[in-house]
């Protein structure tokens, strides 16, 4: 039987600082990923959202499953700062997660500092060109 290409969900099993961002993706753990990423205590995952104006609670299902291990969520909203929808802020608050929206660059830098301090931090980072 011929072996075909097996497509698996993009996932890095561990916490890693983001080494670089731009050109539509990110570098972390000596790897690169094209597209947005979700950095959680359980690992770094490919993340679908590309437009900060379209964020919804369902985009954060994986985060909410790990809510007990996360106190701070940094949301990189691309090149510009975008306000989170009220419904999303309410869901995060109900799960005891403090969310801060900022540009992706600022979110990457802040995430790396808090990660180095071993804080209960997660990041949802929308890729920028």
pLDDT at 80: 93
In this prediction, residue 2 carries a pLDDT of 54
CA–CA gap between residue 128 and residue 36 (Å, rounded): 8
How many CA atoms within 13 Å lie on the side-chain side of 39?
32
pLDDT at residue number 108: 98
Sole residue written with tokens 């753990």: 29
Contact indicator for 104, 78 with CB cutoff of 8 Å: yes
What confidence score (pLDDT) does residue 83 get? 92
DSSP 8: -
Mapping DSSP to helix (H, G, I), strand (E, B) and coil, where does residue 98 land? strand
pLDDT at 13: 84
pLDDT at 11: 77
- The HSE-up count of residue 128 (CA atoms within 13 Å, CB side) is 19
Q: How far apart are CA 41 and CA 13, in angstroms?
A: 9
Going along the chain from its start, the domains and CATH numbers come out as 11-125 (3.40.1230.10)
Query: Which runs of consecutive H residues, i.e. helices, occur in the chain?
Result: 61-65, 86-94, 104-116
In the chain, which residues have pLDDT < 70? Answer: 1-9
């Amino acid at each position: 039987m011929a072996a075909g290409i097996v497509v698996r969900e993009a996932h890095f099993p561990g916490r890693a600082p983001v080494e670089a961002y731009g050109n539509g993706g990110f570098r972390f753990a000596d790897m690169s990923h094209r597209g947005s990423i979700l950095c959680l205590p359980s690992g770094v995952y490919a993340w679908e959202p590309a437009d900060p104006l379209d964020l919804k609670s369902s985009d954060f299902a994986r985060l909410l499953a790990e809510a007990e291990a996360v106190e701070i969520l940094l949301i990189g909203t691309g090149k510009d700062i975008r306000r989170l929808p009220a419904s999303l802020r309410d869901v995060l608050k109900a799960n005891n997660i403090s969310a801060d929206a900022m540009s992706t660059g600022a979110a990457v830098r802040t995430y790396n500092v808090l990660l180095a301090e071993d804080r209960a931090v997660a990041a949802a980072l929308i890729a920028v060109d």
